[in-house]
Amino acid sequence: MYTFLKSVVKNIIPKETLIRHEDQLRKLLKPFYQGKDHECNICQTKLKKFARLQNGQLICPVCGSLPRTRRLNMLLENEFLKPNFSFLDFSPSRMLYKKWKKREDISYYPTDFENEFLSDYHYDITHIDAEDEKFDLIVCYHILEHITEDQKAMGELYRVLKKGGVALIQTPFKEGEIYEDDLITTEEERLKHFGQEDHVRIYSVKGLESRLKNAGFQVTVRTFSEDLYYGYSPNEKVLICKK
Ligand SMILES: [Zn+2]
């Protein structure tokens, strides 16, 4: 039902209108999905079920949240986001952007370099225009696999993080070693080799962990299990990086 409605919506409404009115459009889907067996922890809708994307991930039909975004929300709420924190958030999801913006007890710095996501800042991650040790918390999810000079970016994350601060980092992962190749530069080739037109590598957990350690971080890899009630994915990994 969801895929069908989505394709109808996509074909009859221009993209800009869709982006502007995404929240209202999603509300139309709500009655089809309301129930009691599942819950989205971001929009707090009790659901009959999550919708399944082609890649198998469970998306909230009401707010559009992905499994990793709901897990991140839980981690920040329960553990990492504290009052009076200065919080740097790279390319936040739309729902979390709105949620953290409303919090008056934190200083929120949502940033997106290319203006694809809702944001208030446009930092270049390889040259962050902020003083040393400015932030208590950094979220950098699905960013580093886009950055050619990733080790420079990690150095910048380390520089702007306060001593005792934490950066939560995630990218897509593969087994084995990091796969990257400077000679692969076209969109077609990047899609074929790295899984997306604008990705420049695929990390392995070990490879990313080692680069983050080189940048100075103390890194703990947390592995999370599936939770069908909240629609979290199995074997999800987050790198908890302390300074
Ligand atoms: Zn939701």
Q: CATH no. for residue 204? A: 3.40.50.150
Residue 74 Cα to ligand 1 middle (Å): 13
Instruction: Identify the domain containing residue 34 by its residue range.
Output: 2-59
Same domain, 134 and 180: yes
Q: What does the pLDDT average to over 23-34?
A: 78
Same domain, 128 and 22: no
Same domain, 77 and 123: yes
Same domain, 82 and 43: no
Nearest to 52 by CA among 198, 195, 228: 228
- For 119-178, the pLDDT digits (tens) are 899 999 999 999 999 999 999 999 999 999 999 999 999 999 999 999 999 999 999 999
Give the separation between CA 121 and CA 119, rounded to whole angstroms. 6
Output the pLDDT for position 32.
81
Q: What does the pLDDT average to over 4-24?
A: 63
Q: What does the pLDDT average to over 211-223?
A: 98
Q: What does the pLDDT average to over 179-185?
A: 92
Where helices occur in the chain by DSSP H, the ranges are 2-12, 15-20, 22-33, 67-75, 94-102, 150-160, 187-194, 205-214
Residue 191 Cα to ligand 1 middle (Å): 29
Residue 82 Cα to ligand 1 middle (Å): 23
Output the pLDDT for position 104.
96
For residue 65, give both structure tokens: 């949240």
Angle between helices 150-160 and 205-214 (to 10 degrees): 60
Residue 26 Cα to ligand 1 middle (Å): 10
Output the pLDDT for position 12.
58
Q: Considering its fold, how many domains does the chain have in total?
A: 2
Residue type, 176: G
pLDDT surpasses 80 at 231: yes
Same domain, 133 and 49: no
Give the separation between CA 97 and CA 76, rounded to whole angstroms. 13
Same domain, 157 and 217: yes
Give the separation between CA 190 and CA 185, rounded to whole angstroms. 6
Q: In the structure, what pLDDT confidence band is assigned to residue 10 with cuts at 50, 70 and 90?
A: low
The residues with which 46 forms a beta bridge, in sequence order, are: 39
Output the pLDDT for position 17.
62
Residue 54 Cα to ligand 1 middle (Å): 18
pLDDT surpasses 90 at 5: no
Residue 14 Cα to ligand 1 middle (Å): 23
Output the pLDDT for position 39.
97
Q: In the structure, what pLDDT confidence band is assigned to residue 9 with cuts at 50, 70 and 90?
A: low
Is the distance from CB of 215 to CB of 239 less than 8 angstroms? no
Residue 213 Cα to ligand 1 middle (Å): 35
Same domain, 129 and 175: yes
Same domain, 50 and 142: no
